[in-house]
Amino acid sequence: MCGIVGYIGSKDSTSVLIDGLSKLEYRGYDSAGVAVMEGDRINMMKTKGRLADLVKKMKDEGAPKGHCGIGHTRWATHGEPSDVNSHPHGNANVCIVHNGIIENYLQLKNKLIEKGYQFESETDTETVAKLLDYYYHGDPFEAIQKVVTKVRGSYALGVIFRDFPERIYAVRKDSPLIVGVGEGENFIASDIPAILKYTRQYYLLEENEIALLTKEKVELFDLDGEPIEKELMVANWDIEAAEKGGYPHFMLKEIHEQPTAFSNTVSPRITDGLPDLSSAQLAPEMLKDVEKIHIVACGTAMHAGLVGKTTIEKLVRVPVDVDIASEFRYRNPILGKNDLVVIISQSGETADTLAALRLAKQAGNKTVAIVNVVGSSIAREADSVIYTWAGPEIAVASTKAYYVQISVMYLLALSMALAKGTLSEEEVRTYIKELQGIPALAESVLKNAENCQYYASQFQNAEDLFFIGRGMDYALSMEGSLKLKEISYIHSEAYAAGELKHGTISLITDNTPVIAVSTQRKLYEKMIGNIKEVKARGAKVLLVCHQNAPEAHDLAEYVIELPSVSDIFMPLLTIIPLQLFAYYTSVLRGCDVDKPRNLAKSVTVE
């Protein structure tokens, strides 16, 4: 959510800023802007809309020229998307870009108004810019120190001062920010893809560490001004990994990357045919003592948790609660001393999920993070971390991140089952062997993508659509429905099929589209009844089922048959056609697949 890029060096900073911001477009935004040191003044240019609108404005009015600058793509929180609410914010003396939310901005704003300051925007960010100006008396570091002690909330700030045209300052709390280190040039950015073209070396800023960048060096300080020595990290992504690789959209590329992502996540964690989570400090002794599990996540990651819940309860016989992070943190959850809290987040920066992690740690519970981004806030703060190693996921709608999250849930479930003795070693080996065969089966499903494209063409004009399923298929239906609604804008809902007669079936009329997900063999007969219920009321049904499912082609107008594996692993095959269906529906409707409206990749505010 929102993107920050800063550059100081010998290149044209505007070009570098625009290029870096373009690599962060996947985060979601509705306005863009830059501020560049141009001689002895700060030249700001910003606009509502996309980066393309900013570039056009620069062509029409002249682009800022200089070698030091900061840039931003904004996702509106305080104040509607507009030119004036766009970042950067500041005046002739100081200019900032900001990710996060300042919770006490109204109190600070009122005090500044009393001091004679006038405000143009509706943003909380302008308050920080004005506060910096108020405290600035020739020493940028001192001004920043004072500001961060006054503001309350989350922030990642990039700051330039007119009096110091060859410096960029940066500081963060709760919102992610990295400092890229190049040769004769240095950078700040919200995420690694923004700087990969220029350098792979970077520092991760910790809470309230202040970075001072010149073109020759990077210095890091704590709030007291004491120098900090820290590890220089190296990004293991290459530029091509963050590009489309010949696919028309990142989302389609990432769907097709799922078999490889699965192998990258699972294979290194299998030793001698058994799951091995020792690298995550999850010893069998610790897993054996767990009495209950709380899985906490948001959105797609929460849906991965639902698959994990069913798997763990089936194989381990330990109760599992799955909570939406924003609900968990405010409902005063009951946490037993031997409860394990599992936190799932692609970015590792999701604000509600991070707060839930901190709540669990405060309660004294053991925490395990399942994240993709190495060194992210959740990864650093959890007791144990299992990295999913999926590589960059650029499309806003998550696909391969979800895929590897449920893959990790299988490894965790099998490790616990082995530790607690609910499965024998031989049984676990059998499951692991089947799990290792998933990539080949997933590839075979992907080869039938054209079928999904055809089915999407039959449903593309729907305004309302329903998914139904039972057990794991209900969890998959929830994710399939979310994918469809977030990128195609079709109103879509998922229901437990057994609940249809308790109210929802009143919505089924002639030609109502229904996607019936039925891959769990023990529940298939029950699903036959549910499908007939909606068919009797005129529904047009697309059935997703296992191969040779009885009556399949008599039950539904359209059928997607999947290779057969154990019911417990069917989600790894089932989700692929649901993702493809959503993707092709979005394309056919002319939607912006990779950057759906109003959404952001990394939700770093509540």
Q: Which of 2, 68, 298, 452 is catalytic?
A: 2
CA 454 to mean position of chain CA atoms: 29
> What are the φ/ψ torsions at residue 70 (nearest 5 degrees)?
-130, 150
- CA 422/CA 343 separation, integer angstroms: 24
Counting Cα atoms < 13 Å in the Cβ hemisphere of 451 gives 16
Question: Looking at residue 267, what DSSP letter applies?
Answer: G
The two beta strands, 89-90 and 94-99, are antiparallel
Q: What angle do CA 337, 349, 595 make, to 5 degrees?
A: 135
Query: Which are the contacts of 151, defined by CB distance < 8 A and separation ≥ 6?
Result: 102, 104, 105, 108, 128, 131
| Tokens 């590792």 belong to residue | 348
Asked if 547 contacts 413 with a C-beta cutoff of 8 angstroms, the reply is no
Q: Is 582 helix (H, G, I), strand (E, B) or coil?
A: helix
Residue 474's alpha-carbon distances to 61, 395, 496, 537, 572, in angstroms, are 54, 24, 6, 21, 14
Query: Which are the contacts of 14, defined by CB distance < 8 A and separation ≥ 6?
Result: 34, 36, 58, 63, 64, 65, 66, 69
Question: Which helix H or strand E contains 20, and what residues bound it?
Answer: helix 13-22
Q: What angle do CA 50, 179, 368 make, to 5 degrees?
A: 95
Asked if 176 contacts 350 with a C-beta cutoff of 8 angstroms, the reply is no
Q: Which of 46, 57, 483, 601 is catalytic?
A: 601
The two beta strands, 320-324 and 292-297, are parallel
Q: Per the structure block, which two tokens stand in for 318? A: 């330990």
User: Residue 113 CB: number of other CB atoms within 10 A?
Assistant: 12
DSSP 91-111: -SSEEEEEES-BTTHHHHHHH
DSSP 453-509: HHHHHHHTT-SEEEEEE-THHHHHHHHHHHHHHHHH--EEEEEEGGGGGGTGGGG--
DSSP 354-413: HHHHHHHHHTT-EEEEEESSTT-HHHHHSSEEEE-------SSS-SHHHHHHHHHHHHHH
Q: What angle do CA 367, 371, 373 make, to 5 degrees?
A: 130
Indicate if 298 belongs to the active site: no
- CA 157/CA 79 separation, integer angstroms: 19
Asked if 199 contacts 182 with a C-beta cutoff of 8 angstroms, the reply is yes
Question: Which helix H or strand E contains 167, and what residues bound it?
Answer: strand 164-173
Q: Per the structure block, which two tokens stand in for 125? A: 């960010």
Q: Is 426 helix (H, G, I), strand (E, B) or coil?
A: helix
> What are the φ/ψ torsions at residue 360 (nearest 5 degrees)?
-65, -40
Please list the active-site residues: 2, 601
